[in-house]
Structure 1
């Protein structure tokens, strides 16, 4: 069944590299074998543990791919709903799904959801990233727990697969760490998820640029290229900012957990110096000697000990009124970004978020290097120091 799941995803893939990656995944599964522990009296336990790992892997893959097919089908059907698009505006859209008869790609019992005839989802080629991610997680777990026996390694893999499956069945909403306003302005796909609305925004921006360009004697093809290039860059910047901000959420959560274990409070994540205009006046100011940040945590005159109720973007530490003010929730807001240095401001916002994410990553990696959570190893796993 696990082979059939990847094989059915393989039938949708068009890119040669993605087809090769999926074929490699199928080959690796075919060559899997139990990891025998010679200290056990019977080998049946090795087979049973290996089957459990394959069964957990199957549940995870089926859940991910079936949900992906369902959401892709809903998206395509929403684009091709009755009355639109017409023949003049369907260029670049995914092919329509003719909902007549469900078929099974596999001749035997289907592993994934049945699809309609001529229904293709090329994005299923990303299924090859699932075993690659699981392999990376297992490698990190092996580095932490260091199992010494083959049975311990199988048990550790089963624990990793179970954790991955639990996380998939109970998904978190990392965007909920941000304010309701930011969730609406940045994460909402009400407008950016509709290609027809984005096309309308591009045409409105082109019309406005054409009216202005006629006064400056600019060529129409140049204006067309510049307008839609700017719109495409704006959408790309939004997508990258969402990715960066979600990664920052996961890193911030790890940072807070490690800070609590080290004895620091929640404000340690948001630590910043007191602004000059709010600092207290001192009569005699000398050049201070080098100090550790831990010695300043209780000094309210030098350190701003504040903890916001929600996570904020990194740009708010620099400018929250001009550069960091944006919205993708309405057509008018996106048009405003196109005409009033919105692309440049989004570039600055993305750069600040990337700097914050990288700083969090360095801090978490450095802390985890000196702090190995042995409590995270599953029971009955023999570890070596």
Structure 2
């Protein structure tokens, strides 16, 4: 694929990330509660990280399996591995969410941002949000993967960034509903859903414990998503630390999911292209490095356009006067993009090459680790930019 084609397809895919501004806009409606309920900001980033982890594994494996013929470009009568993939994704989502919840509570409790009576909220609200979101987004992901493949697009480039925006809006909407439900006394409904989800997960595990593909996806995915959960929890703690500033400038939280989604999309595109090249045995290490540099540059051209647009949109959500504030948000966006791109592109290539050389399936590692790293990088570089550029 030529550099021009990669740039064009990347721009088409990443432009969907702009829609994640609506996800941030939904959560910004809760901005008046950030100080009173710090667990909102503590949980929102790791919940979005889980969205990236699970959606990344699903889209990454679908792209590779479509390109290698292990999955049919069909909605019905697909392969056994296809249906095992969907079930393993649900199990991974539950395990990822539960692990994140425990770590996030421990971290924020230690930092003084959480109390003992918040424990049940930390354990059940993310499970409710993530599993409903994944159940809603899974058929959309499959649809985009199959249609893009049928129309000659590379699903490694198109799928994750395209569905990432949809996932963000779904997650933000359900997160908003869950927070308001807790406020209005419907917490035990959320807890009941989490218990039912546990029963479903146990049923899937007992039924398919002897399937090698199912076990491999779970075992390899758990290690990568545990790492991702840690990074997502740190992102939440950083946001909680800056909750007063965020409440003063709602434009930051409005563009925050879109920035994470775009940087994660950059990493996922580069990572997915690399894993497919590895799967089909294209070139040696030096040849893949040259292709990586070309592909990364092509993707970054598209990302710069998107981040510039996000800076402008952020000022609109803040409801502040146009001028200096617009320039500030544009500079923050571009700073986050440029510094984040350097880190995320190298990370995606190194993880893909490293896991492949160890005989592991890169699709179980690359996108989950890259997207969660992108989430943390976005958080850290955004607030670093605030100190450096203001």
Q: Which has the larger radius of gyration?
A: 1
Comparing both structures, which one devotes a greater share of its residues to helix? 2
TM above 0.5, yes or no, is: no
